Every structure is written in C-alpha cells, then in structure tokens.
Copies of this chain bind each other. A is one copy, B any other.
Amino acid sequence: MLGRAILPEINELVQKRDFSTLKEVFEEWHPSDLADVVADLPENDRAIVFRLLPREKAADTFEYLEFDVQQALLKALGKEEVTGILNEMSPDDRTAFLEELPGPVVRQLMELLSPEERAVARNLLGYAPDSVGRLMNPEYIAVGDDWSVGQVLDYIRAHAKEIESLDYVFVLDKRGKLIDDIRTTAFLIASLESTVAQLMDESFVYLAASDSKEDAVHVFKQYDRSALPVVDNQGFLLGVVTIDDVLDVVEEIDTQDIHKFGGQEALDYPYIRTPLLDMVKKRAGWLIVLFLGETLTASAMAHFEAEIQRAVVLALFVPLIISSGGNSGSQAATLIIRAMALREITLKDWWMVMKREFLSGVMLGAVLGIIGFARIALWSLFTNLYGPHWVLVATTVGISLLGVVVWGTLSGSMLPFVLRRLGFDPASSSAPFVATLVDVTGLVIYFTAAAVILSGTLLAG
C-alpha cells in the first residue's frame, strides 16, 4: 500500500542509480511493500532493486511476488542470487512457486538447493497438487511427553527463529507420532519443573497430508485455529499449516466458483495479468457450448412456426418468458452452490431443498404471473396492441410465467445436486448454463399453454 504511493520517487532513484539511498529507504520496509514496488517497476529494473536487498529479505520479498513476476525475475538474476533466494525461502512458499513451473525448470532449480533443502522440497512436491501436503511447512516445535517445561522453553528459544507460527507446541511419542498439541502460552504459565505430560489433555485436532485444501479450510473455520498439525496416514507428524495460507486458499476457491458461476473456466492469474488470448480461450469454450445448447431454441421455435405465423403476438413475449425462467433458476442455483461450498447442505438434503424450492417457485411464479397478466391488461385498456383476445393472451402469458418460474427454480436448485452426484463441480451449474437449459423448456411450456388456451380463437386451425 505504502509502496505504490511513492513509486515515482523510487523510480527516479532507480533511474539515477542512487543505490545507497535506495538501500537506506528499503531497509525499513516490509517485504510485502517491497514486493509491490518491484512488481510495478519496469522489468529491466526489477533485478537491480532486488540485488540491493540482503539475502534473507530478498527471499521474503520474493515470496510476496506474483508467479509471473517471480519467473521473470529468476531469469534476470544470476545463479548465485537465485541460489540464495531459493535456499532462504520458507518451504511452503517455495512449493507454491515450484509447482507452477515446468518440470525441467524445477529440476534445474532443485540443483541449486542445499541437500537438506532439496530433500524438503522434493518431499513437499510429492504431495498431490490440491492436498494439504502442498501447504505444509515442515518446521515446527515438537517435544516429548517426558520433557520438562524448562527444557521445552529452552528448545523454543533455540529454534524460534525458524518457525512460522509459535502458537502451538506438538507432543510426539517415541516413534514420532503426534499425541497432543499444547498452546505455547501453557508453557509460559507452568512451573519450569513440571513435565509436558502434566500439561497434556490428549485431545487435538489435525489434518492429514492427503486431505484436500478445501477440507483444511473447513477444519480451520470449525475450530478457529491459527495453525494445525499435519500427519501422514499413520499419525506421524509431517508439518504445520498456518492460517495465512488457508486465507489464500479460500480466496482462490471462491474466485474459481465465481468465475465458473459467470459461465467460464476459472482464470489462473489475476484478470490484468492474464494474457488476452488465454482469457478469450477460457471464455470461448463455455460460450460455444452454451451457444450450441441455445441453438435448440431455434429448433423449438421452428417447431412452433405455424403458431407464430397465425398469432405473431405470441412472439412478442418470448424473451420475457424465457428470461424469467433463467433469472429464477440463476437465483436458486447460486443459493445452492454457495450453501454446498460452505457445507451447509450436502447431497442427502436434495429432497428437503426440492420441497423448499418448489414452494418458492410457486410463490415467485405467481407474483410474476400476476404482474405479467396485469401488464398486458393495462396496455390493452389503452391500445389495441394485443388484439381483441387480449384476455386469453394475458392468461397464456400469466400461466406460462408461473410454469416457467417453477421449472426454472427447480432446475436451478437441482442441477448442482446432479452435477455433484456425477462427480462434477456444482459451481459449473452457472447462471448461463441454467438459463440455457431453461430456455428450451420455457418455450415448450409457453407454446403448449398457448395451444391449449388459444386453440378456439387466435390459433383456431
């Protein structure tokens, strides 16, 4: 935030190559602010600024950069500088960076790591991309249950610098299995002579390395934790996930859901950083699918061409009727998709949801039907737009609206269940997808109602 405001001044110092002033300015800055400035500088100047930073701060700043800036920077920096940054980065952020790179580049970079760091990095990259393992930081405070509080405090003192979150101390049995977590504050309060075993309550919450990132979000929310231990399937402690990484996961998942709900594939990078052609590709796919689905409306309309020929007035209300179905379906779909994402409802709730949405649909459809009827009636009092049979036309429109809204609401609410049941992401039941589905059936409902109601008059054959 700070960074962007004084970017012109920084830029000037860079142009003047006034490195000593820059060094001085940067000394007090937070790595996050430094990252903002680096990202906003012209690509050629970024490496220059980076070289002014002490090794550790350079690594911290690197962690805050977007992937594309990181990648460009890596190319601009020398081998030694890259080595320094990669070895200093915290293991979870390094995983997040490496997992975006193509295989050969990863192998090259791994060569630059020290043997210990390389083992850590290889290990973390071994977990599935969407699993908790990828978020993990393998540095934590672990103690035995026979340690004294004094020993634990000494141990913390010796290792605190390397650890991301100090809120919890983890207790392991002799073989390395997690048997408890204890808030660090408990050690500050306890007498130095008491043992870890005396502080234990043997109740603890943990994640499995193979859990999905989404699962992790829910456990963090459920227990209001700032950090959680991660174990393998035999209960051995592997690392710690901190809530700042989970916050990023939440943002990412919600962005994906929102993009999907807008009827497109989720973008991988921020809007402004996504190349135009990539973005068009992500959007074109769904747009074409929806378009092909929607061509069915042309077929449906063609089926009713004779009716339209005889009563052109019917055509006038086509957009109104199908859009009402789409809108009510879009409402229902958003509600259900979000409730599923927050795990408020699960597959087994489909029947309860269906009953609720049927009732909602009837009420909403009745409201729109009455307004639609009134609209046509009102116009017909003053104009002859809808002809002598306007009451029948208004009835057709009103009843169709009721039918279409009920149908739209039911389709919109049930589609996420169907998609989830089939193993797809419910968020794919986007507003445009639901609208397309409902359009064809909406036309059928409308023209069928017209055929029944107007058969003796406008559509008398």
- Which residue numbers of A lie inside 8 Å of B, CB to CB? 1, 28-30, 32, 64, 153, 156-157, 160-161, 163, 165-167, 184-185, 188-189, 201-203, 205, 219-226, 242-244, 246-248, 250-251, 254-255, 257-259, 261-264, 267, 270-272, 276, 279-280, 283-284, 286-288, 290-292, 294-295, 297-298, 301-302, 305, 308-309, 312-313, 315-320, 322-324, 326-328, 330-331, 333-339, 342, 344-345, 349, 352, 356, 359-360, 363-364, 367-368, 371-372, 375, 385, 430-432, 435-436, 439, 443
Contact = CB atoms under 8 A, between A and B. Distances in A.
Given A283-B360, A312-B315, 10 more contacts: A1-B222, A32-B222, A64-B224, A226-B244, A262-B331, A263-B334, A284-B367, A301-B315, A308-B312, A331-B432
Contacts of A294: 319-320, 323-324
A185 B160 CA distance: 6
B205 A30 contact: yes
A28 B432 contact: no
A418 to B, nearest CB: 18
19 contacts: A1-B222, A30-B205, A153-B188, A161-B189, A226-B242, A226-B244, A254-B258, A255-B342, A270-B339, A271-B338, A279-B335, A280-B360, A291-B320, A291-B324, A291-B371, A294-B319, A298-B319, A318-B318, A330-B432
Among all A-B residue pairs, the 3 with the closest Cβ atoms: A262-B334, A431-B431, A297-B319
A343 to B, nearest CB: 10
Copies per complex? 2
A168 to B, nearest CB: 11
B247 A246 contact: yes
B261 A336 contact: no
A30 B225 CA distance: 12
A425 to B, nearest CB: 14
A426 to B, nearest CB: 12
A160 B240 CA distance: 23
A322 B153 CA distance: 69
A287 B344 contact: no
Nearest to A262: B334
Interface centre among A271, A288, A302, A439 (most CB of B within 10 A): A271
Q: Is the interface of A mostly helix, strand, loop or mixed?
A: helix
A59 B283 CA distance: 49
Contacts of A371: 288, 291-292
Nearest to A412: B262
B431 A262 contact: yes
B224 A244 contact: yes
Contacts of A283: 328, 331, 360, 364
Contacts of A327: 263, 287, 290-291, 432, 435-436
A223 B32 contact: yes
Nearest to A254: B254
B160 A189 contact: yes
Given A32-B222, A223-B32, A288-B367, A342 B270 contact: yes
Contacts of A64: 224
